[in-house]
């Protein structure tokens, strides 16, 4: 849906010129669009997604704040939903990055190189699987009011920040100097990060998962790390395709977990040398895959500051995080 009329020479949406903007962790500006910080290159995609996307009742949307475990969750969801079609020995996840198999609605379907997104969508095999970083409040009604299911993942804000800072510096390295940790941390604490503020993003999906548990399954990276077996079953049940006793007996769950594990995915050729697009190498999605790496970067004052923000923003919501392994 992108057109020369609505984009400038840098590929940014011209609507952006009228919006408040701030520097972001990535190279492009972030624009305050519909109450969230939208990367300039995604504004057109979010608008197209909101305007043209027609959800089907059996659609599955994996939603997340960036760097919270999206790649892992889309891999698991793809493997769970399509398990009758592929054996784990000859699986698309062995030769394709998960982001290629589960397209992002605002970055790929409506923003990138798909000439006619609506036609493309109507030709997709069902159930259709998508990913999105769009906040719950900005999702099209078609998703929120249909029977489409949403699986959301979030992660403790300490690790999310370090993951984002290291990731965006890799992207910046092609054209810009790296962002210092302190400068990036200031942006993060102010909520000025892609699709942020991060607290609003989490709380939007959290509240909906409380109000409509059959609509939104709310997951945490740390919980998956601790007991992925339980959550693979949980996701399958939530999506209406529970594992049979026979599947459990033959180790289907364990095979999926192994296929989607950080160690397995990181060493695949496609994730070592492949590219998602001209700016993003597939290997950028696989760094450490651990809980608690933030302790190697945070000063005591940073710990103090972020802890206070978490306390203040999430206070009374019932949402909390395990921050160390």
Contacts with ligand PAP by CB under 6 A lie at 64, 66-72, 159, 163, 166, 260-262, 265, 285-289, 293
Q: Which of 91, 99, 133, 201 is catalytic?
A: 133
Whether 275 contacts 281, CB under 8 Å? yes
In whole angstroms, the minimum distance from the beta carbon of 44 to ligand PAP comes to 19
In whole angstroms, the minimum distance from the beta carbon of 202 to ligand PAP comes to 13
Whether 39 contacts 45, CB under 8 Å? no
Count CA atoms closer than 13 A to 257's CA, side-chain side: 16
How many other C-beta atoms can be found within 10 angstroms of the C-beta atom of residue 220? 21
In whole angstroms, the minimum distance from the beta carbon of 165 to ligand PAP comes to 9
In whole angstroms, the minimum distance from the beta carbon of 148 to ligand PAP comes to 20
Report which DSSP code applies to 152.
E
Output 120 or 288, the one with its CB closest to ligand PAP. Answer: 288
Output 94 or 118, the one with its CB closest to ligand PAP. Answer: 94
Output 21 or 67, the one with its CB closest to ligand PAP. Answer: 67
In whole angstroms, the minimum distance from the beta carbon of 177 to ligand PAP comes to 21
Output 110 or 221, the one with its CB closest to ligand PAP. Answer: 221
In whole angstroms, the minimum distance from the beta carbon of 269 to ligand PAP comes to 16
Tokens for 73, please give them.
Answer: 């969750």
Report which DSSP code applies to 275.
B
- Report the candidate in 55, 51, 72 with the shortest Cα–Cα distance to residue 130: 55
Rounded to whole angstroms, the Cα distance separating 16 from 6 reads: 10
How many other C-beta atoms can be found within 10 angstroms of the C-beta atom of residue 75? 23
133 flagged as catalytic:
yes
Q: Which residue has the tokens 């959290």?
A: 206
Output 78 or 238, the one with its CB closest to ligand PAP. Answer: 78
Phi, psi torsion values for 234, nearest 5 degrees? -60, -45
Q: Which residue has the tokens 């990731």?
A: 167
- Report the candidate in 91, 81, 32 with the shortest Cα–Cα distance to residue 58: 81
Output 43 or 164, the one with its CB closest to ligand PAP. Answer: 164
Residues with Cβ < 8 Å from 75, sequence gap 6 or more? 93, 98, 259, 260, 265
- Report the candidate in 39, 44, 41 with the shortest Cα–Cα distance to residue 21: 39
Catalytic site positions: 133
């Amino acid at each position: 849906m992108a057109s020369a009329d609505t984009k400038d020479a840098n590929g940014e949406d011209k609507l952006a010129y009228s919006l408040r903007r701030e520097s972001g962790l990535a190279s492009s500006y972030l624009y305050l669009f519909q109450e969230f910080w939208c990367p300039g290159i995604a504004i057109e995609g979010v608008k197209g997604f909101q305007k043209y996307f027609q959800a089907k009742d059996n659609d599955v949307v994996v939603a997340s704040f960036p760097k919270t475990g999206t790649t892992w969750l889309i891999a698991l969801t793809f493997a769970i939903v399509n398990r009758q079609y592929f054996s784990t020995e000859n699986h698309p996840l062995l030769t394709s990055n998960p982001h290629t198999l589960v397209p992002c609605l605002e970055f790929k379907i409506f923003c990138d190189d798909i000439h006619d997104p609506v036609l493309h969508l109507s030709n997709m095999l069902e159930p259709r699987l998508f990913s999105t970083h769009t906040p719950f409040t900005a999702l099209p009604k078609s998703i929120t009011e249909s029977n489409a299911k949403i699986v959301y993942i979030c992660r403790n804000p300490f690790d999310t920040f370090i993951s984002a800072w290291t990731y965006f510096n890799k992207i910046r390295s092609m054209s810009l100097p790296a962002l210092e940790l302190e400068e990036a941390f200031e942006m993060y604490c102010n909520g000025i990060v892609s699709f942020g503020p991060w607290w609003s993003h989490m709380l939007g999906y959290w509240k909906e998962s409380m109000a409509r548990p059959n609509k939104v399954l709310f997951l945490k990276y740390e919980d998956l790390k601790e007991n992925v077996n339980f959550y693979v079953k949980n996701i399958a049940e939530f999506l209406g395709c529970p594992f049979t006793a026979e599947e459990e007996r033959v180790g289907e769950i364990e095979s999926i977990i192994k296929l989607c594990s950080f160690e397995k995915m990181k060493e695949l050729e496609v994730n070592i040398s492949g590219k998602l697009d001209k700016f993003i190498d597939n290997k950028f999605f696989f760094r450490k895959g651990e809980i608690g790496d933030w302790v190697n970067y945070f000063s005591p004052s940073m710990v103090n500051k972020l802890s206070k923000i978490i306390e203040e923003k999430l206070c009374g919501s019932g949402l909390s995080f395990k921050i160390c392994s």
